[in-house]
Amino acid sequence: MEDILGLVKRKGEVFDFIHVANAMNKIVRASRRGTGERSLKLKGDRLSRDPRFAQLIDLALFHCKSFRAQEGANVLHALGVFHADLGAMAVDEKLAPQLGEMVERVASKMKPQEVANTLNALCKMDAAAAAVLRSGWAGLARAAERTASEMDPQEVAITLHAFGRLDVAAAAVSELGWEGLADAVERTAREMNPQGVAMTLRAMAVLPAVADELSSVARKHLEAAAEREAPNMTADGRRMSLRGCEKLNLRTPRMDNDLLQ
């Protein structure tokens, strides 16, 4: 992390929008080495006080109008990590509206991972989400609908989880869009990891529009995935899975009561 911030100080004035996005992603990766809540918060505290980090955020603001879909999604992902995982609040009243405008501008060009990362990041940052106009949410909804058939298991889970937390985004999804996302669940559920299963089931509990579109095959796949992955879930993941299974009238996976504490 120190090397990246040092580069920002020395070369930041000649960074273009790609350099900015890459630097932010490298900081995210560096922050995850030696993870643990205390370690993350300490790194976040250091970042918050570091003028080189402030310089990088200023560069993101300066280049925001130049970000394409990939860089825009990567920058939003990084900002979400800084905010939610590290406690380094980087989105202020100047940057938020620029991010909202950027989302609307690039949504139509987003690939599956970029859609999932953007929605996930906006879940974590109220200021950025509040700056997205309804037309921006509509663009993201259309992007999710367009790319659902190409999403991998993680992208399906993240996208649905995000829609379950962003009411304004979910409201923009069409009936055909929910059908496509339900089809994506059927296609990918058997390959979901513990977190993906929990996130998907949690989404089913709060998104009746997509839950109602699930085929019997998709339900069986989710039921089997919950049973298979329950022992590997966190306590929160188990609770999310139980809620989703109950909402879908699926067989509840066997779980020890002490694992839910």
User: What is the pLDDT at residue 256?
Assistant: 52
Percent of the chain clearing pLDDT 90 (strictly above): 90
User: What is the pLDDT at residue 260?
Assistant: 47
Q: Is the pLDDT of residue 204 over 80?
A: yes
Where in the chain are the domains? Answer: 1-132, 151-261
Pair 253, 232: CB distance under 8 Å: no
How many residues appear in the chain?
261
CA pair distance 106, 120, nearest whole angstrom: 16
**Could you say which DSSP state residue 86 is in?**
S
DSSP string, 17-74: HHHHHHHHHHHHHHHTTT-SHHHHHHHHHHHHH-HHHHHHHHHHHHHGGG--HHHHHH
Say whether pTM exceeds 0.85. Answer: yes
Which residues 6+ apart lie within 8 Å of 108 measured at CB? 139, 142, 143
Q: Is the pLDDT of residue 160 over 60?
A: yes
Q: Is the pLDDT of residue 243 over 90?
A: yes
**CA distances in angstroms from 257 to 147, 157, 167, 231, 261, listed in the order given:** 39, 26, 32, 12, 7
Q: Is the pLDDT of residue 63 over 90?
A: yes
